[in-house]
Amino acid sequence: MAGVSATGWRTRRTKAGLFVAAGALLVSTGCANIPVTSPPQVIPQSVPAAAPAGGGDLRYDGIVPRPGESPEDVVRDFLRAGGSIERAHTRARAYLTAEASKKWNDNAGTVIIENNFYLDSRQDGSEVLLSAQQHGRLNDDGSYVPGAAPYPVTFSLKKVDGEWRIENPPPGLLIELSTFESAYRAYQVYFLNSTQRKVVPDVRWYAAPPDSLPTLLVTALEHGPSKWLEGAVGTALTGITLQTNIVQERDRVKVYLTGLGDQMDTLPNQGFAQLVWTLSQLGVGGVEVYADGQVIKPNGARAVILQQLSDWSDFDPDGLTVNASGYFVRDGAVWTTKDAALAGPAGRSSFHAVSVASSIDERSVAVVRRAASGGQVLFVGAPGSLHSTVSGAALSRPTWGSDTGEVWTVRDGREVLRVALDGQAAHVDLPQEHDIGPIRALSLSRDGARVAVVAGPAGREQLWIGVVVRDNDTGAAQIRGLRPLDFGDTPVSDVSWSDAGTVIALTRSGEQDSSLYSVDVDGGSPALLVPTTGLPGPPTAVAAGPTLLTIAAGALWRTPVASESWTKVEDRRGGESAPAYPG
């Protein structure tokens, strides 16, 4: 992630079915060489995909080799041309020798470098040293891997018919950050969470023409989750492959599959959910699925041929309604944003509540209470029948994933616990290589597949995103693949999931300088500043859901998503803290 950007808050990834890709010059690396227009054609299974032959990219018409170009300009234009979407990156190959063009594998992933790189010509122009800072990289499946590191490359050049040409291009694409931001777009490939009742977005970045996207995304489904999400998600499409290219019609797409086997006459319902959620983000209208040439339907009540996103809305990875309650603590009592105290003892100030979390269905709550003898205790259950579970000197704000039968908390900054409704507690394994220091806050995504963690020494806390891997036999859980999201030297104090692919982070620089940022969890986009104009003081906590909640000057404030207008939730005396939305 390229540091933070103060360009204003906006929603970058709207949910599938609301996002329409038409009209944009869109996206691909490492895609399969699949025909993308009707009529259907058999897909060559061994050939990787690319954009259609002859599909030029007008944005790059000005980038062509010119007579007398210096070695530095040849290398610079080679990097810029890497963002073009025509087949096999013909424009970039124009800067290579004929032999180098034959050997260059442009499908071996993509390295993204910062814009302020340095080129130094040596050996009378036969060598050009690139000194750059790596911003991140794309794997050959289009998944983004953040990571800043020095990236030096020495290009060898030779003269061909009097013009300098590159002899040793590195495998894959090497492009500037500005090229990446203008040429690539993020798309979600949907897999299944551990309960198989929710889909989980797996973000892929592509630079391909719009008519290739349906086939490209279903091919990504076929190949399985990205390396980061392996073990955290599943699929109902194992062994099932595209038989022909996807046919696009005015109000639907037709998906032709094979590989169901003799024992199956249709896909599992979860497989339909994966396909419909993945394709609906392209504004396709509806999805028809065929197996070996025969149209197939889901089992049960959803048995219709044309599948719409609304048919699979219960697989929504976020699962919150627009009417979901916000929760907070007021003078030791738990209240909701519907101006009502929580039923039962936790709704009274004498309970001495510290923080609260509600299950996504709002039938259960978890409340951390200050104990009379010192320390803190976690209470779990239905609002009117809470019972005590684990205790410690300090417990982090609790958090629920998609499984409403357990809640997570962190004891004394180090011990991650998951607590069942019956009070049974189990440790969540955090491998030694992920020793990130004391944990200040931990929040599960509402699909349960990812976790956001604020951790580190006091005054130097970072935001980390990891995945949750469960053992299907024992139910044991482990946090893996923790990645830091870069805020420079600014410490992070709180985090909340806005949706399955975005978190809201609260940073602080001193007592009077706090900021809110919207951050994509794969790190492929810069953080966007959430305006706090109108708040009476710096925000001190955050919760994201149908609206954004924060605490400022001891009072609860909210703003609609993508708005810049904060309003006080209730005209009360204050004494409010610890906002939370279900999850």
Q: What share of the chain is helix, strand, coil (3-state, %, to 5)?
A: 15, 40, 45
- Count of residues for the chain? 583
Residue at which a domain ends, from 257, 288, 315: 315
Kindly report the number of other CB atoms within 10 A of residue 209's CB atom: 19
Q: Is residue 37 part of a domain?
A: no
- Residues 165, 196, single domain; the answer is no
- Residues 550, 428, single domain; the answer is yes
Q: Is residue 550 part of a domain?
A: yes
Query: For the ranges 36-50, 151-165, 252-266, 528-542, which has the lowest average pLDDT?
Result: 36-50
Residue at which a domain ends, from 315, 343, 374: 315
- Residues 371, 263, single domain; the answer is no
**Is beta strand 527-530 parallel, antiparallel or unpaired with respect to 4-5?**
parallel
Which amino acid, one-letter code, is at 322? V
pLDDT tens digits for 172-228?
999 999 989 988 999 999 999 999 999 999 999 998 888 899 999 999 999 999 999
pLDDT of residue 50: 32
pLDDT of residue 14: 41
- Residues 359, 468, single domain; the answer is yes
**The two structure tokens encoding residue 336:** 């909701």
Does residue 5 have a pLDDT over 50?
no
Mean pLDDT, range 226-255, rounded to an integer: 95
58 — pLDDT class (breaks 50, 70, 90)? low
pLDDT tens digits for 361-396?
999 999 999 998 899 999 999 999 999 999 999 999
Q: Could you tell me the CATH number of the domain that includes residue 456?
A: 2.120.10.30
pLDDT of residue 116: 93
CA distance 224 to 234: 8
- Residues 351, 311, single domain; the answer is no
Q: What is the pTM of this model?
A: 0.88
User: What's the alpha-carbon Rg for the chain, to the nearest Å?
Assistant: 26
Beta-bridge mates of residue 369? 353, 377
Kindly report the number of other CB atoms within 10 A of residue 423's CB atom: 14
Burial (CB count within 10 angstroms: exposed 0-12, middle 13-18, buried 19+), residue 12: middle
pLDDT tens digits for 280-328?
999 999 999 999 999 999 999 899 999 999 999 999 999 898 899 999 9
- Residues 449, 381, single domain; the answer is yes
- Residues 472, 373, single domain; the answer is yes
Q: Could you tell me the CATH number of the domain that includes residue 132?
A: 3.10.450
560 — pLDDT class (breaks 50, 70, 90)? confident
Quick check: helix, strand or coil at residue 543? strand
Q: How many domains does the chain have?
A: 3
| 557 within 8 A of 313, measured Cβ to Cβ | no
CA distance 91 to 83: 10
Contacts of 103 (CB under 8 A, 6+ apart): none
572 — pLDDT class (breaks 50, 70, 90)? low
CA distance 301 to 319: 21
DSSP letter at 214 equals H
Q: Is residue 4 part of a domain?
A: no
CA distance 337 to 320: 15
Contacts of 26 (CB under 8 A, 6+ apart): 185, 206, 207, 208, 209, 210, 213
**What's CA 573's distance to the chain center, in Å?**
38
88 — pLDDT class (breaks 50, 70, 90)? confident
Residue corresponding to tokens 């990834």: 13
Mean pLDDT, range 245-271, rounded to an integer: 91
pLDDT of residue 522: 93
Residue corresponding to tokens 């959803």: 302
Does residue 27 have a pLDDT over 50?
no
- Residues 94, 227, single domain; the answer is no
End-to-end CA distance of the chain: 26
**The two structure tokens encoding residue 451:** 């976790």
- Residues 220, 336, single domain; the answer is no
Q: Is residue 279 part of a domain?
A: yes
Q: Is residue 499 part of a domain?
A: yes
Domain assignment of residue 291, given as a range: 186-315
Residue at which a domain ends, from 290, 315, 340: 315
Q: Is residue 15 part of a domain?
A: no
**What's CA 20's distance to the chain center, in Å?**
18
- Residues 206, 154, single domain; the answer is no
Half-sphere exposure of 250 (CA within 13 A, CB side): 0
pLDDT of residue 77: 94
pLDDT tens digits for 461-513?
999 999 999 998 888 999 999 999 988 889 999 999 999 999 999 999 877 78
Burial (CB count within 10 angstroms: exposed 0-12, middle 13-18, buried 19+), residue 236: middle
User: What proportion of the chain, given as a percentage, has pLDDT over 70?
Assistant: 88
CA distance 393 to 297: 55
- Residues 381, 488, single domain; the answer is yes
- Residues 384, 483, single domain; the answer is yes
Does residue 91 have a pLDDT over 70?
yes
CA distance 443 to 451: 6
**Is beta strand 327-330 parallel, antiparallel or unpaired with respect to 567-568?**
unpaired
Residue corresponding to tokens 């259950």: 381
**The two structure tokens encoding residue 263:** 């024992």
Q: Is residue 150 part of a domain?
A: yes
| Cis upstream peptide for 39 (omega within 30°) | yes
Does residue 20 have a pLDDT over 70?
no
Q: Is residue 425 part of a domain?
A: yes
266 — pLDDT class (breaks 50, 70, 90)? very high
Top pLDDT among 87 and 129 is at 129
**What's CA 265's distance to the chain center, in Å?**
34
